[in-house]
């Protein structure tokens, strides 16, 4: 009996993984119009330690994951805080010198089905853990993932709290109210789930749904494909159709939105050229959880491009410098939204536009393999009223990431 217990423990520890992810992040947003806050500038250093155990050698395997994260202020003047890297005192506007948190997740596995409970970092089209600042956004709840059905990835989950990227406390989950799109509302009951069916490694379809109790429901149908036109040329369509409606007591007010998100990429060797479209229908904006982004092709830096009735066109070019400098990649993108309906913020046919640049170098080999330096720059403009959440700006972000696995 004792030998059996030791054997179970061996799998728990011998199959475990330890890593330390370090992130140095500089954020600099300068507003181009007169504002009470002319700029947001924060610089911080983050550390995220992760322990992922193996599973006990029992019919149902059991395990434990631990994540410890800490952030440290390097620079943040009181009149320029609010970039989301550091917690900020609501009264003094001072950024914290440091902050940290520890998350625990218990897990169980049977065949190809895994259940986790505790601190979660979901990654689905309807809810996902944002890593767009210093420390990742986390949720508290239960999630099941299964691959027991052939060619199918199934996800089911329930979360009741969120720990935002610049916070150490779990709080209720809220709908984003940027630009006054919805009334402020929160819930401690969120259900989500869905599946991806893979025809092969390059072609799949899927469906996901989420319910923020008494706020909104969202459903998304999706298709991802890679069409090989010849040995060096591929067409990559990425299609999503969202249906958004109010739920229960409608605490955020009316939610009535359908959204088509379509992106078509043509890839040839080191070049990729993309055309993307967002087409919004209905009386309201697209709803999503505050503190994060929406997981589709258009990753706006200074805006979300999800206002009521907004139509968006985006053109993008990517280049891989691997023939000259292995590990270096660059991107430039222009996006424009029009037909925006915000009568309380300037009109019923408003516009916004963003030009974004992104360059990233990842060390491909050697002792520093995996060290990544990423710089992002964006120029954003709109004709909204000055009280809008998104204001014309120039924005620069610099991130240096490295992960030790041991």
Per-residue pLDDT, 38: 85
* 232-262: pLDDT as tens digits: 999 999 999 999 999 999 999 999 999 999 9
- The sign of the torsion formed by the CA atoms of 154, 147, 163, 128 equals negative
Mean predicted confidence (pLDDT) in 200-225:
97
Mean predicted confidence (pLDDT) in 162-187:
96
User: How is residue 301 written in tokens?
Assistant: 């830096």
CA dihedral 318, 127, 354, 330 (to 10 degrees): -20
What pLDDT band is residue 203 in, cutting at 50, 70 and 90?
Answer: very high
| C-alpha–C-alpha distance, residues 33 and 36, integer Å | 10
Per-residue pLDDT, 5: 55
What pLDDT band is residue 13 in, cutting at 50, 70 and 90?
Answer: confident
User: Does residue 220 surpass a pLDDT of 60?
Assistant: yes
What pLDDT band is residue 2 in, cutting at 50, 70 and 90?
Answer: very low
The DSSP call for residue 370 is T
CA distances to 60, 313, 345, 382 from 389, in Å: 49, 21, 10, 11
Q: Kindly report the pTM of this predicted structure.
A: 0.94
What pLDDT band is residue 31 in, cutting at 50, 70 and 90?
Answer: very high
Per-residue pLDDT, 297: 87
Cβ burial 30-51 (10 Å sphere, 16+ → b, else e): ebeeeeeeebbbbbbbbbbbbe
Q: Where along the chain do its domains lie?
A: 111-297
Name the least confident of 2-16, 167-181, 345-359, 372-386: 2-16
Q: Tokens 């190809």 — which residue?
A: 112
Neighbours of 102 (CB within 10 A): 12
User: For the purposes of burial, counting CB atoms within 10 Å of the CB of 90, is it exposed (0-12), middle (13-18) or buried (19 or more)?
Assistant: exposed
User: For the purposes of burial, counting CB atoms within 10 Å of the CB of 91, is it exposed (0-12), middle (13-18) or buried (19 or more)?
Assistant: exposed
User: Does residue 123 surpass a pLDDT of 60?
Assistant: yes
* 343-368: pLDDT as tens digits: 999 999 999 999 999 999 999 999 99
* 296-326: pLDDT as tens digits: 888 889 999 999 999 999 999 999 999 999 9
Which helix H or strand E contains 194, and what residues bound it?
strand 190-200
Mean predicted confidence (pLDDT) in 44-68:
97
- In this structure, whether the domain defined by 111-297 belongs to CATH 2.40.160.10 is answered with yes
User: How is residue 168 written in tokens?
Assistant: 């150490």
What pLDDT band is residue 112 in, cutting at 50, 70 and 90?
Answer: very high
- Do the bridges between strand 216-224 and strand 203-212 make them parallel or antiparallel, or are there none, so unpaired? antiparallel
Which residues are bridge partners to 208 per DSSP? 194, 220
Mean predicted confidence (pLDDT) in 122-143:
96
Per-residue pLDDT, 14: 85
Mean predicted confidence (pLDDT) in 30-40:
83
What contacts 351, CB < 8 A, 6 or more positions away?
336, 337, 338, 340, 382, 383
Which helix H or strand E contains 179, and what residues bound it?
none
User: Does residue 69 surpass a pLDDT of 90?
Assistant: yes
């Amino acid at each position: 009996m004792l030998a059996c217990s030791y054997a179970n423990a061996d799998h728990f520890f011998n199959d475990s993984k330890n890593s330390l992810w370090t992130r140095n992040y500089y954020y600099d947003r300068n507003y181009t119009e007169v504002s009470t806050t002319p700029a947001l500038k924060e610089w911080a250093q983050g550390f995220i330690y992760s322990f992922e155990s193996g599973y006990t050698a029992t019919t149902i395997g059991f395990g434990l994951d631990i994540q410890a994260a800490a952030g440290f202020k390097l620079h943040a003047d009181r009149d320029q805080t609010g970039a989301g890297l550091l917690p900020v005192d609501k009264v003094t506007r001072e950024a914290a010198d440091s902050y940290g948190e520890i998350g625990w997740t218990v897990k169980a596995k049977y065949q190809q089905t895994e259940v986790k409970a505790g601190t979660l970092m979901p990654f689905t089209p309807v809810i996902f853990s944002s890593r767009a600042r210093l420390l990742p956004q986390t949720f508290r709840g239960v999630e099941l993932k299964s691959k027991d059905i052939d060619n199918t990835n199934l996800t089911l989950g329930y979360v009741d709290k969120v720990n935002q990227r610049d916070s150490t406390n779990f709080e209720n989950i809220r709908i984003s109210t940027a630009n006054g799109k919805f009334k402020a509302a929160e819930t401690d009951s969120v259900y989500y789930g869905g599946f991806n069916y893979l025809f092969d490694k390059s072609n799949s379809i899927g469906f996901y749904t989420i319910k923020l109790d008494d706020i909104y429901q969202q459903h998304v149908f999706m298709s991802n494909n890679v069409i090989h036109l010849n040995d060096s040329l591929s067409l990559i369509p990425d299609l999503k159709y969202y249906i958004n409606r109010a739920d229960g007591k409608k605490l955020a007010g009316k939610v009535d939105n359908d959204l088509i998100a379509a992106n078509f990429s043509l890839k040839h060797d080191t070049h990729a050229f993309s055309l993307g479209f967002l087409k919004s229908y209905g009386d309201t904006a697209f709803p999503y959880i505050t503190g994060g982004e929406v997981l589709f092709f258009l990753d706006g830096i200074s805006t979300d491009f999800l206002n009521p009735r907004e139509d968006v066109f985006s053109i993008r070019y990517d280049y891989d410098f691997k023939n000259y400098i292995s590990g270096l990649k660059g991107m430039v993108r222009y996006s424009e939204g029009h037909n925006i309906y915000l009568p309380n913020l300037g009109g019923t046919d408003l516009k916004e536009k963003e030009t974004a640049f992104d360059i990233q170098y990842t060390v491909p080999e050697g002792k520093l393999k995996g060290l990544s330096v990423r710089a992002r720059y964006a120029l954003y403009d709109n004709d909204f009223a000055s009280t809008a959440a998104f204001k014309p700006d120039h924005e620069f972000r610099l991130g240096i990431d490295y992960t030790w696995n041991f």
